[in-house]
């Protein structure tokens, strides 16, 4: 999803402040790192100048928040009413008394300071080049937490800005429920009665406010659809909607890529002819639905800029699947697994038989010849070669000829020829030992970044387009056509957020394994979906984790895992038991290495 999922809450990053902070300028600001620049703290805060954007967030009389246009203007300028009635959380970076922000940046969740039910948003013009956005809550629609270090919440980033995050509604409701339990304890973590009253009122009306926020967002979405329908008859480029990308929103927007792909305009004399990676609208729609519009746009752009696309991402994110789905004609597609022992072009192209003096071609060379034959017959359809594990061996060793020859202009046939050697190519042609790199060939490479692979050189990177592929757990489940309860999805999302720093994500392979388990619960003697999820998370996520004794980042990871176990341990018993074993191992000075 490109921007906002209707029904969820939003979150906004603010500076981190001391416990019990009342909105006043911090004393000794130069020694307290709230994440604002040190020069700002010295020039303004330390001198008593109240220029901090966040100093009025929890002001008793008239609370409001200021956000720089850089991080939120993309949304509010076209739709200033989009935040009205929405639930907005405020959080900041992990901090430690008495110096402020911790040096350990591995903590997977930030601290929540409070929340607004947004009443209005208005632009505050500072000068011709700078605008601030003022967010005001309802008088009874704001609260703060006096002990923010206790409360954490799972969120995900929103494409388009650096300030806004999307927060799962159920996670927010659970967070308030826990805070309510603490407030009812014999020693509640509140500094004054007003904070307690505001929190209780916010908590009591949270469900009602979420429903109102959802209805308003749906109404705004419908207005955007109507607005687009009206404008689309007048202009080819409509205003971008913040809800663009939602599965339920089917806006047939003309984009640059689709215009290029479907245009019947003949190229000018000096205009380069393009051979698109995606030659069917159904394939484009499938990639847009399964991944995102941004991924589709990136792939389409390669058709105009490069003939080599490198897809990077964590194992199991769907790199190979995306590459294979680009073209659905198996006759115009070849998969080449790269070997770690490849050291020369003969590993890719083949070799000259010393006895017959014929060139012994590989499947790759045969495929080049097939594409060459099609090109000579005026068949300009795209051919695709997919290199799996492209950087398992240094590409310059075996890919240099292709890298160089494929960069020459389409009409430079001699320069795009590779001399193979020998008197001919066995099984293909007896008259020549040359092969032509067709301009209609596109090379797709999938790579991983770990200790088993090699870094790509600037020589390769300069000739290629890089596409980083990520897949959120919820989207992964959708890809696998898995329907789970919201709490089960949250358990996956939160574990994924905790362990992504350890390269132990919930992958598409894990989702497919879970689907197979759910299809055979009786055969596996499992009682419920939770049992199957417990097994898959244990075997295919937690087994990737490595924790070394003495690594300070492990403290925050283990704290997060222990919190996760507390929330879901009664359903995911085996996972919780393994995490408890890790805690004991680290205390005993033993590293945690699964395999």
Q: ∠ CA 42-44-49 to the nearest 5 degrees?
A: 145
What is the reported pLDDT for 159? 60
Least confident window among 194-198, 454-458, 514-518: 454-458
**What Å distances lie between residue 489 and 87, 179, 311, 476, 495, CA to CA?**
21, 22, 27, 11, 10
CA–CA dist 368, 349 (Å, integer): 10
Residue where one domain finishes, among candidates 468, 494, 518: 468
Are 25 and 116 in a shared domain?
yes
Q: Is 290 part of a structural domain of the chain?
A: yes
Are 86 and 204 in a shared domain?
yes
Residue where one domain finishes, among candidates 223, 242, 265: 223
Among candidate residues 23, 22, 30, 33, the one with its CA nearest the CA of residue 46: 30
Are 433 and 521 in a shared domain?
no
Are 403 and 545 in a shared domain?
no
Task: State the residue range of the domain holding 505.
Answer: 473-593
Q: Is 307 part of a structural domain of the chain?
A: yes
What is the reported pLDDT for 364? 96
Pair of tokens at residue 439: 């301009």
Higher pLDDT, 500 or 425: 425
What is the reported pLDDT for 103? 59
Are 14 and 136 in a shared domain?
yes
Higher pLDDT, 222 or 2: 222
Question: Which residues are paired to 310 by β-bridges?
Answer: 445, 466
Average pLDDT over residues 168-189: 81
pLDDT tens-digit map of 244-293: 433 333 333 334 343 334 334 444 444 445 566 776 778 888 788 777 77
Are 108 and 218 in a shared domain?
yes
Are 99 and 212 in a shared domain?
yes
What is the reported pLDDT for 274? 55
Higher pLDDT, 544 or 2: 544
What share of the chain in percent tops pLDDT 70?
A: 85
What is the reported pLDDT for 227? 53
Are 315 and 442 in a shared domain?
yes
Q: Is 559 part of a structural domain of the chain?
A: yes
Mean pLDDT, all residues of the chain: 82
What is the reported pLDDT for 148? 67
What is the reported pLDDT for 1? 33
Q: Is 447 part of a structural domain of the chain?
A: yes
Least confident window among 55-59, 105-109, 194-198, 248-252: 248-252
Q: Is 292 exposed, middle or buried (0-12, 13-18, 19+ CB in 10 A)?
A: buried
Q: Is 274 part of a structural domain of the chain?
A: no
pLDDT tens-digit map of 558-569: 888 988 998 899
What is the reported pLDDT for 451? 63
pLDDT at 234 over 60: no
Question: Which residues are paired to 9 by β-bridges?
Answer: 167
Residue where one domain finishes, among candidates 207, 223, 239: 223
Are 214 and 294 in a shared domain?
no
Report the Cα 241 to chain-centroid distance in Å: 20
pLDDT tens-digit map of 7-64: 889 988 888 877 667 777 887 888 888 888 888 888 888 888 888 888 899 888 899 9
Are 436 and 505 in a shared domain?
no
Q: Is 200 helix (H, G, I), strand (E, B) or coil?
A: helix
Q: Is 360 part of a structural domain of the chain?
A: yes
Average pLDDT over residues 527-551: 93
What is the reported pLDDT for 315? 81
Least confident window among 147-161, 162-176, 181-195, 305-319: 147-161
326: domain CATH number is: 3.40.50.300
* Per-residue 3-state assignment (H helix, E strand, C coil) for 118-153: EEEEEEEECCCCCEEEEEEEEEEEEEECCCHHHCCC
Are 480 and 461 in a shared domain?
no
Q: Is 275 part of a structural domain of the chain?
A: no
Give the β-pairing of 9-13 and 87-92: parallel
Average pLDDT over residues 507-534: 94
Are 54 and 137 in a shared domain?
yes
Sign of CA dihedral 449, 453, 457, 461: negative
Domain total of the chain: 3
Q: Is 229 part of a structural domain of the chain?
A: no
**What Å distances lie between residue 259 and 200, 225, 237, 255, 493, CA to CA?**
54, 21, 11, 6, 37
CA–CA dist 451, 230 (Å, integer): 54
pLDDT tens-digit map of 345-404: 999 999 999 999 999 999 999 999 999 999 999 998 889 999 999 988 899 889 989 989
């Amino acid at each position: 999803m490109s921007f906002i999922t209707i029904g969820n809450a939003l979150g906004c990053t603010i500076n981190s402040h001391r416990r019990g902070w009342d909105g006043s300028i911090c004393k000794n600001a130069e020694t307290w790192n709230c994440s604002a620049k040190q020069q700002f703290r010295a020039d303004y805060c330390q001198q008593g100048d109240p220029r901090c954007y966040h100093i009025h967030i929890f002001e008793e009389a008239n609370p409001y928040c200021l956000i720089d246009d850089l991080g939120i203007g993309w949304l509010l300028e076209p739709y200033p009413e989009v935040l009205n009635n929405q639930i907005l959380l405020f959080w900041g970076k992990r901090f430690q008394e008495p110096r402020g922000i911790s040096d350990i940046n591995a903590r997977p969740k930030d601290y929540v300071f409070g929340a607004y039910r947004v009443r209005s948003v208005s632009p505050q013009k500072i000068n011709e080049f700078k605008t601030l956005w003022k967010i005001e809550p309802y008088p009874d629609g704001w609260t703060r937490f006096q002990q923010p270090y206790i409360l954490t919440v799972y969120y995900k980033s929103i494409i388009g800005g650096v300030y806004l995050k999307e927060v799962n509604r159920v996670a927010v409701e659970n967070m308030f429920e826990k805070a309510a339990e603490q407030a009812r304890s014999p020693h509640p973590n509140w500094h004054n009665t007003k904070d307690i009253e505001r929190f209780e009122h916010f908590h009591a009306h949270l469900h009602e406010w979420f429903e109102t926020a959802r209805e308003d967002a749906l109404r705004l979405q419908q207005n955007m659809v109507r607005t687009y329908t009206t404008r689309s008859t007048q202009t080819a480029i409509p205003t971008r909607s913040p809800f663009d990308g939602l599965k339920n929103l089917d806006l047939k927007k003309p984009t640059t890529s689709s215009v290029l792909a479907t245009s019947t305009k003949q190229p000018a004399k000096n205009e380069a002819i393009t051979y698109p990676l995606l030659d069917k609208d159904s394939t484009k729609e499938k990639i847009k639905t399964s991944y995102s519009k941004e991924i589709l746009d990136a792939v389409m752009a390669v058709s105009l800029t490069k003939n080599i696309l490198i897809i990077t991402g964590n194992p199991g994110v769907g790199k190979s699947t995306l590459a294979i789905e680009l073209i659905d004609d198996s006759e115009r597609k070849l998969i080449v697994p790269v070997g770690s022992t490849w050291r020369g072009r003969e590993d890719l192209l083949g070799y000259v038989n010393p006895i017959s003096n014929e060139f012994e071609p590989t499947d790759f060379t045969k495929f080049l010849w097939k594409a060459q034959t099609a090109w000579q017959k005026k068949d300009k359809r795209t051919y695709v070669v997919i290199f799996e594990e492209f950087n398992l061996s240094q590409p310059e060793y075996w890919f240099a000829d292709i890298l160089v020859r494929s960069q020459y202009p389409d009409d430079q046939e001699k320069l795009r020829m590779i001399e193979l050697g020998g008197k001919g190519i066995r099984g293909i042609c007896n008259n020549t030992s040359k092969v032509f790199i067709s301009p209609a060939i596109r090379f797709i490479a999938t790579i991983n970044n770990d200790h088993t692979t090699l870094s790509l050189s600037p020589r390769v990177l300069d000739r290629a387009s890089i596409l980083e592929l990520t897949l959120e757990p919820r989207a992964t489940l959708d890809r696998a056509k898995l329907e789970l309860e919201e709490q089960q999805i949250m358990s996956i999302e939160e574990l994924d957020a905790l362990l992504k720093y350890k390269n132990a994500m919930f992958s598409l392979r894990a989702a497919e394994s879970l689907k197979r388990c759910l299809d055979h619960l009786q055969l596996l003697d499992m009682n419920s979906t939770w049992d199957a999820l417990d097994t898959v998370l244990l075997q295919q996520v937690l087994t990737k984790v490595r924790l070394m004794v003495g690594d300070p980042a492990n403290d925050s990871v283990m704290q997060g895992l222990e919190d996760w176990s507390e929330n879901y341990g009664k359903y995911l018993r085996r996972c919780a038991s393994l995490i408890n074993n890790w805690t004991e191992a680290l205390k005993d000075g033993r590293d945690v290495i699964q395999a």
